[in-house]
Structure 1
């Protein structure tokens, strides 16, 4: 049997494109072979929707899914959020963990995205934090949903590799209690990233706070952090975008810690 856009299971899955329905159900969609592969490895796939062509092309993925439902092209179009979908969309269980549980593992590197709204930036930071060896990424305050489709795709599977935490904005005290120094990124920071690296400061277990491009970090977080840190600009650029600045900071810490 081939499901279409009108099939009740497909219609129910499509609702997961809305945050309200994701929050109520505790489920989300992972689209494309890379995301599906990582979701299967994490053991969180509840159902895999795939076109006949995709089932044949990605037989290894279909073989590892407990439930595989063949869908028509119009069914795929209803579930997919990309312009050129690759034939696979998985319904997954949400995997975020409580802050206390993530910090109990004593991570040496943590990224905090505080009230950032852009899902592409959030997913890219997730991917970068994973690559830099971070143990957790904390979505603090009124931040974008980590299970937003664009965020999931931008993370390129890293959503399933690190502890994802959704937390109130007041995260500095628990981070510090877990043995992490808390560094806040700011274009007007008193400390320079290069100087901290030269002085050995970045070798300590560190949580980096990143705010939105439009508004920066909330004042309460900036004031509570141990140090406000600026990324040096050597050329004529006005600034770095959020994801690029996060990459520079996280890799500076990763290098120092190694």
Structure 2
């Protein structure tokens, strides 16, 4: 069906087969088995529809409660106009598709986002290595998008970018820039080097800091920033394989910065340095 739910039609319940099938997408194994994931909330659905309209993937279905439909008529209309099946669901069914405490009642079923790793022409890339927290990962994707990065790569044993909390924390940014995944971090690092990117570890224990590297002009080079988990950072053996490591200087009494804040400082420092001179071409991922 490609129209909005018929007036008077009974909404799908949590036992309706299509809702049951969609609920399997809240688990990584379910997502990878069918190649789809859930994008919840008005902002994520809006970005998903734009992403599909640009030919970058497909939105297979939109589940919506009556309350959410009344609040977001333009999104329901956009889905209908795009030929996306729109299915009315009960509040309980919507809650079963949500990974939030307060479900928004809008859930889109989308193709997986990740694309084959391609870094041709890239000048700024964020690599997440061993980041387990989906909120942190999604926020770094949002920061990378805002800083004009060309790609975000989930390397090694890192959270799934299609995790509901990750998608939500990105506020739609996962639909804006290329997302790649690889369990083999060494292959990711090799691909970055092959593309001419300098691999820089964001490491709170590094001997050199961001400001010194910036003054020397290092940050104007094509760069892949590598970020580790907030709890443990990057393993020493990983840092040893990268081209250099830099820390964000702490001028006050704070013990450290959280992952997303450190990523914002690092990515924006590179973005500013790369854009400050007329000799640097626009980023390959600019939009």
TM class by shorter chain equals over 0.9
Alignment correspondent of 2:282: none
In 2, Cα distance between equivalents of 1:253 and 1:138 = 17
Q: CA deviation at 1:246?
A: 0.6
Alignment correspondent of 1:18: 27
SS for the counterpart of 1:117 is: coil
Alignment correspondent of 1:103: 119
In 2, Cα distance between equivalents of 1:173 and 1:85 = 41
Structural RMSD (CA):
1.1
TM-score normalised by the chain length of structure 1: 0.96
In 2, Cα distance between equivalents of 1:21 and 1:157 = 22
Alignment correspondent of 2:270: 253
In 2, Cα distance between equivalents of 1:235 and 1:57 = 45
Paired residues for 1:1-258 under 5 Å: 1=9, 2-43=11-52, 44-65=58-79, 66-99=84-117, 102-104=118-120, 106-167=121-182, 168-170=184-186, 171-258=188-275
Q: CA deviation at 1:166?
A: 0.2
In 2, Cα distance between equivalents of 1:143 and 1:108 = 23
In 2, Cα distance between equivalents of 1:221 and 1:163 = 24
**What are the superposed Cα offsets for residues 6-43 of structure 1, whole Å, 9 maximum, x if unpaired?**
11100110111111101111111100000000001011
SS for the counterpart of 2:101 is: coil
In 2, Cα distance between equivalents of 1:25 and 1:115 = 25
Cα pair 1:114 1:217 within 8 Å, conserved: yes
Shift >3 Å, 4+ stretches: none
**What are the superposed Cα offsets for residues 188-247 of structure 1, whole Å, 9 maximum, x if unpaired?**
212210011111110111100001122211333211211111111101111111111111
In 2, Cα distance between equivalents of 1:124 and 1:250 = 13
Moved more, 208-217 or 113-122: 208-217
Moved more, 197-206 or 219-228: 219-228
SS for the counterpart of 2:114 is: coil
Unaligned runs of 5+ in 2: 1-8, 53-57, 276-287
Cα pair 1:22 1:28 within 8 Å, conserved: yes
TM-score normalised by the chain length of structure 2: 0.86
Unaligned runs of 5+ in 1: none
